[in-house]
């Protein structure tokens, strides 16, 4: 039927990976999972269109990922500089990310996950306002609030959703983008806001598309939704085949899906 959404089956899985060195640090990962769970229920009568699973990276191998069989993968944020990770854990994280990115499985990396994606491919990151972050982010200025992101490349459906205002919360940003990535969204003062791995269904965003700028610290809505993140999340789900429109005449507003 024209304009009728086609939604993925409930047996499909979205894997959200907690990349914090300590598995007990998981608030950011859980917030991402809740955002996707909300979107999964928008047009299926309250039943989830797909399942969302959270795993800590130290519990994951490529064999375990294959066993879980996710349709798509999301990398969450982290709360400390990557040099604060034990050497073996950091090496495992970057090797896991590089292998996942090299597969045909769609992947979205958010904030620290975006930075880890770049590092796993030989890039570099650093504090947005100068200096060097080592061991902790104490003493460094943190970018917070809404920032305007401009679309500068193609990037498929995710790229098309990039023009807008998004919530940011980070100290570091990408300072060296490897040539295997295309810059598809930029902003200020952190220029590299969105990237795509060339030839792969892999995206990274420095901002937090899962966050609502109108929410209070405990997550409650304090007014009309502020921020355009839902559009990016829905675009990724469509790229992954987890939320589709049957034709181009469906609603462009993700809150109406």
- What's the pLDDT at 239? 96
| 49 vs 168 pLDDT, higher one | 168
Give the least confident one: 168-177, 185-194, 208-217.
208-217
pLDDT higher than threshold 50 for residue 257? no
User: Is 180 part of the annotated catalytic residue set?
Assistant: no
Point out the catalytic residue in the list 114, 121, 170, 208: 208
- What's the pLDDT at 45? 56
pTM equals 0.88
Q: Please report the beta strands in 19-142, taking only residues with DSSP state E, as ranges in sequence order.
A: 51-56, 72-75, 107-110, 124-127
23 burial via Cβ count (<10 Å: 0-12, 13-18, 19+): middle
Point out the catalytic residue in the list 111, 121, 172, 239: 111
Domain 5-128+142-256 architecture: 3-Layer(aba) Sandwich (3.40)
Tokens of residue 231, six digits? 């559009």
- Any idea where the domains of the chain sit in the sequence? 5-128+142-256
Point out the catalytic residue in the list 172, 182, 186, 210: 210
């Amino acid at each position: 039927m024209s304009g009728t959404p086609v939604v993925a089956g409930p047996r499909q899985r979205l894997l959200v990976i907690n990349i914090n060195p300590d598995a007990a640090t998981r608030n950011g990962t859980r917030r991402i999972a809740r955002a996707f769970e909300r979107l999964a229920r928008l047009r299926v009568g309250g039943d989830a269109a797909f399942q969302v699973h959270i795993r800590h990276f130290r519990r994951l191998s490529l064999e375990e990922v294959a066993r879980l069989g996710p349709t798509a993968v999301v990398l969450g944020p982290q709360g400390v500089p990557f040099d604060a990770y034990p050497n073996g854990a950091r090496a495992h994280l970057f090797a896991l990310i590089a292998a996942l990115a090299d597969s045909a499985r769609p992947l979205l990396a958010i904030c620290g996950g975006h930075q880890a994606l770049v590092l796993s491919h030989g890039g570099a990151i650093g504090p947005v306002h100068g200096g060097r972050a080592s061991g902790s982010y104490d003493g460094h200025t943190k970018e917070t609030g809404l920032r305007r992101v401009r679309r500068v490349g193609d990037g498929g459906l995710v790229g098309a959703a990039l023009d807008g205002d998004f919530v940011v919360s980070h100290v570091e940003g990408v300072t060296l983008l490897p040539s295997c990535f295309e810059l598809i969204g930029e902003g200020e003062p952190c220029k590299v806001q969105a990237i795509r791995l060339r030839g792969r269904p892999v995206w990274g965003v420095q901002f937090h598309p899962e966050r609502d700028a109108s929410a209070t610290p405990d997550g409650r809505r304090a007014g009309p939704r502020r921020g355009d993140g839902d559009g990016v999340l829905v675009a990724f789900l469509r790229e992954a085949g987890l939320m589709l429109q049957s034709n181009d005449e469906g609603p462009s507003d993700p809150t109406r899906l």
